[in-house]
Each structure stands twice: as structure tokens, then as C-alpha cells.
Amino acid sequence: MASFKPIAIFLLVGLMLGASKAQLSPTFYAKSCPNVFKIVRAVVQKALATDARAGARLIRLHFHDCFVDGCDGSVLLVNQSGIVSELGARGNDNITGFNIVDNIKAALEKACPGIVSCADILAIASVESVYLSGGPYWEVQLGRRDSRTANLQGAIDGLPSPFENVSQLKDKFCRVGLDSTDLVALSGAHTFGRSRCQFFDRRLNVSNPDSTLDASYAAQLRRACARGRDTFVNLDPTTPDAFDKNYFTNLQSRFGLLGSDQVLFSTPGSDTVGIVNMFARSQQQFFNSFGQSMINMGNIKPLTGNKGEIRSNCRRLN
Ligand code: HEM
Ligand SMILES: *[C@@H]1O[C@H](CO)[C@@H](O)[C@H](O)[C@H]1NC(C)=O
Ligand SMILES: *[C@@H]1O[C@H](CO)[C@@H](O)[C@H](O)[C@H]1NC(C)=O
Ligand SMILES: *[C@@H]1O[C@H](CO)[C@@H](O)[C@H](O)[C@H]1NC(C)=O
Ligand SMILES: *[C@@H]1O[C@H](CO)[C@@H](O)[C@H](O)[C@H]1NC(C)=O
């Protein structure tokens, strides 16, 4: 019994620290925009009907938003007076999904004008995208406001690269307060969506074969990438558009597409290996951890209170 006491105190202190850091709440729009989840879900559902990648595009935008000065909608800003867009960073090269965000914003401005931030739209669109693709639903924290700044250098320095090793990836996550479990769980978002060949084709060199890549999978990728380095291929070759635990079983069979995926499992002695194995064993474990890690990521440095603004056009300052 005695050993539980310090743990309880630890948890309590942790909760208090989390609360003072974030000040977000799941019921933030309960009165001001009660149908916000329904409205976002309808637009995401419509987008998914004609574009299997819609959900993948949206959650990736949320990730790239949160990793640069917190979840404040900064990734959505295009070049304009006083703003150098984060879209000039290599990690944001040709990132997509802005038109879906615009459609969500339009639907929300109609129902509850001036109320829902673009930063919160990305957080809600993420949970709806994952859920509609067969994944978990988590309690989304809300109340973020939109930045009046962008940080191109922050995007260049802060976004992880597919060519990094485990220590570099862990370091990028650690800088925003995320740990190895968050890194592995959130990388599981590569269970859907696509990647261009330019981000993994160095692994396909026949005179220097990557021993952590299955040979038949490598041959298949070489054929696909013969069409050019801008060719898109499935991040999860087994169930490309479903949100499931196959990303982790793929890693166990050396079917990870990006170097940054496979190193989570193929780096001897890394604490990420056991976490991959745990998620490969239990989809429930993965889903629970994924939801918690999305909440953790969503809590990175939000603007609250009277900071920032509620943009009326997500791509531009008011
Ligand atoms: C761990 C470090 C990560 C690296 C190095 C990384 C890198 C990449 C790269 C290179 C692509 C392909 C981009 C393209 O070809 O345009 C991609 C796609 C994607 N990433 Fe990540 N990523 C990471 C973590 C994450 C996280 C944390 C999430 C979300 C929680 C995420 C969600 C996605 C999704 C859904 C796609 C597919 C997007 C689409 O189909 O348009 N990634 N990622
Ligand atoms: C934004 O403008 C800067 C120069 O002010 C330029 O270097 C950059 O390429 C532009 N970014 C985009 C995404 O067009
Ligand atoms: C980005 O998109 C533009 C067209 O929108 C295309 O011309 C360019 O080749 C793309 N760049 C990459 C690296 O895929
Ligand atoms: C990862 O890469 C960095 C920079 O190249 C290097 O210093 C470090 O030793 C590498 N770590 C591992 C585990 O390979
Ligand atoms: C492939 O690997 C060989 C041997 O390491 C190297 O000399 C060559 O430059 C690589 N080719 C490419 C296209 O990277």
C-alpha cells in the first residue's frame, strides 16, 4: 500500500502542472457552438468520400502546427504582410489539406460566426479523421486561439525529418515535452496516408541494401519509384487507408516505409523497441496511447484567454 502513495501524489502534481500549462477544456464550445463536432465531422466525411487521404492530410497539419510554437494555427498562414509562412520549410514542402480546413471554417462561420479557432479546427478534424478511418476517439481539449505570427525558422529546426535516427527523433519530441511513448504512438499515424519517394528512396540503393528493409518490399518500392521521386506510395502497404495497428506489425517485418519509422524498431537497445512490440500486440493499447498522446501534443503551448485571435480566414490574419 505504502508504495502507492508517492505515485498518487506524483499523478496529482502531474495533473496540476498539466492544467496550469494548458487551460483547455473539452466543453469549451458547449454553449457558444454546441454542434462543433457534428459540423466538423460532416465536412471531413464529405472530403473522405472523394479523397481517401483527407484524414491523413488533416492530422498531419495538426502535428506540424503543434510542433512549431505550439498549436496556434501558425502552419496555416500563407505569406502576407508581416508574415513569412512556415510553408517554406522543407518539412512543410507541398503539405496539403488547406482546402478542407477552409471548408470546415466556412461551415463553422455559418453556424457560429467568430467563435471556433483554426487551431481548434485542426484538433477536432484530427479526432474525427482518425475515428472515421476506424481508429480511436479521444476527449479533445479545446479553447486554443490563433496566432498573429508564424515561425519559419522554428519549422525548419523543429519538424522531424524522415532521415533522422532515434536519438534525433526523441530529441525533437522531448523539446516539445513529448516522450518515447508519445513518439512511438504518434508515429502510428503513418498507418494511413502517403509519402513521396524522395523521402525514402535512399533506402532502395541496390549496391548498398538497407538491411532493415525487407528485400521484396524494397523491390516493390523500386518499381513504384521508377515513375519519379514525386511519386506517392502508401505509408502502410497492408491497409493503406485504415487506422489500425498494422503500422507496428509492419515494423516488426521490416515493412516500415520511412527510415524514421523503421529505426523505432530496428535500433538495438532503444526504448522504442518494446513500445512498438506492445502496440503490435494490442490494438487497444495502441488506441488508448494514441488518444493520450494526441491530447499531450494538443497541449503544446496553446494561446488562451485574450492572446491571439479567432481568425475568420484560417490562412490570413484578421
Ligand atoms: C516521428 C517523426 C515524423 C516524421 C519524420 C514524419 C515524416 C513524414 C513524411 C516525410 C511524410 C510524407 C510527406 C510527403 O511525401 O509529402 C509524412 C506523412 C504523413 N505523416 Fe508524418 N512524420 C512524423 C510524425 C508524424 C506524426 C506525429 C503524425 C501525426 C500524429 C504524422 C502524420 C502523417 C500523416 C497522416 C502522413 C500522410 C499525409 C498525407 O497522406 O498527405 N507524422 N510524414
Ligand atoms: C514567402 O516569402 C519569402 C520571402 O519573403 C520567400 O523566401 C518564401 O519562399 C515564401 N514562401 C512561400 C511558401 O511562398
Ligand atoms: C510541389 O508542387 C508543385 C505544384 O503544386 C510541383 O510543381 C512541385 O514539383 C512539387 N514539389 C515537390 C518536391 O513535390
Ligand atoms: C544519431 O545521429 C547523430 C547525428 O548524426 C549522431 O551524433 C548520433 O550518434 C546518432 N545516434 C545513433 C543512436 O545512431
Ligand atoms: C548507392 O550506394 C553506393 C555504395 O555505397 C554509393 O557509392 C552510391 O553513391 C549510392 N547511390 C546513390 C544514388 O545514392
For helices 180-187 and 283-298, give the axis angle rounded to 10 degrees. Answer: 110
Q: In this structure, what DSSP letter does residue 196 have? A: E
- With respect to residue 301, please indicate whether it lies within any of the assigned structural domains: no
Output the CA 316–ligand 1 centroid distance in Å.
24
Q: Average pLDDT for residues 108-123, to the nearest whole number?
A: 98
Same domain assignment for residues 262 and 247 = yes
Q: Whose CA is nearest to atom 3 of ligand 1?
A: 160
CATH number at residue 197: 1.10.420.10
Q: In this structure, what DSSP letter does residue 77 have? A: P
Low-confidence winner among 14-23, 83-92, 181-190 (lowest mean pLDDT): 14-23
* Total count of domains within the chain: 2
The answer, yes or no, to whether residue 19 has pLDDT greater than 70, is no
pLDDT of 23 reads 86
Q: Name the grid cell of 8.
A: 498518487
Range of the domain at 222: 166-291
| Through-space distance between the first and last CA atoms of the chain, rounded to whole angstroms | 56
Percentage of residues in the chain having pLDDT higher than 90: 93
Q: Is the pTM of this model over 0.85?
A: yes
Same domain assignment for residues 149 and 183 = no
Residue from 182, 190, 194, 233 whose mutation best tests the ligand 1 pocket (most atoms within 8 A of CB): 190
Cα–Cα dist 116/285, whole Å: 32
Same domain assignment for residues 201 and 246 = yes
- With respect to residue 63, please indicate whether it lies within any of the assigned structural domains: yes
User: Per-residue pLDDT tens for 51-110?
Assistant: 999 999 999 999 999 999 999 999 999 999 999 999 999 999 999 999 999 999 999 999
Cα–Cα dist 94/259, whole Å: 20
The reply to whether ligand 4 has any atom less than 6 angstroms from the CB of 165 is yes
- With respect to residue 11, please indicate whether it lies within any of the assigned structural domains: no
Q: Average pLDDT for residues 213-239, to the nearest whole number?
A: 98
Q: Whose CA is nearest to atom 14 of ligand 4?
A: 165
Q: In this structure, what DSSP letter does residue 204 have? A: G
Q: Name the grid cell of 40.
A: 466538423
Single out the residue in 131, 159, 187 at which a domain terminates: 159
- With respect to residue 308, please indicate whether it lies within any of the assigned structural domains: no
- With respect to residue 314, please indicate whether it lies within any of the assigned structural domains: no
The answer, yes or no, to whether residue 173 has pLDDT greater than 50, is yes
Closest C-alpha to 282, from 311, 310, 244, 312: 244
Atom of ligand 5 nearest to the CA of 206: 1
User: Per-residue pLDDT tens for 252-275?
Assistant: 999 999 999 999 999 999 999 999
Output the CA 21–ligand 5 centroid distance in Å.
48
Catalytic residue (one of 62, 64, 105, 194): 64
- With respect to residue 107, please indicate whether it lies within any of the assigned structural domains: yes
Cα–Cα distance list, 133 to 45, 191, 307 (Å): 10, 10, 34
- With respect to residue 70, please indicate whether it lies within any of the assigned structural domains: yes
Q: Name the grid cell of 130.
A: 482518425
Closest C-alpha to 26, from 289, 294, 290: 294
pLDDT of 16 reads 44
The answer, yes or no, to whether residue 18 has pLDDT greater than 70, is no
Output the CA 214–ligand 5 centroid distance in Å.
19
Single out the residue in 126, 143, 159 at which a domain terminates: 159
Same domain assignment for residues 147 and 179 = no
Same domain assignment for residues 130 and 193 = no
64 is known as an active-site residue: yes
Residue 22 banded pLDDT, cuts 50, 70, 90:
low
Ligand nearest to the CA of 96: 1
The reply to whether ligand 5 has any atom less than 6 angstroms from the CB of 81 is no
**13 burial class (0-12, 13-18, 19+ CB within 10 angstroms)?**
exposed
Same domain assignment for residues 37 and 111 = yes
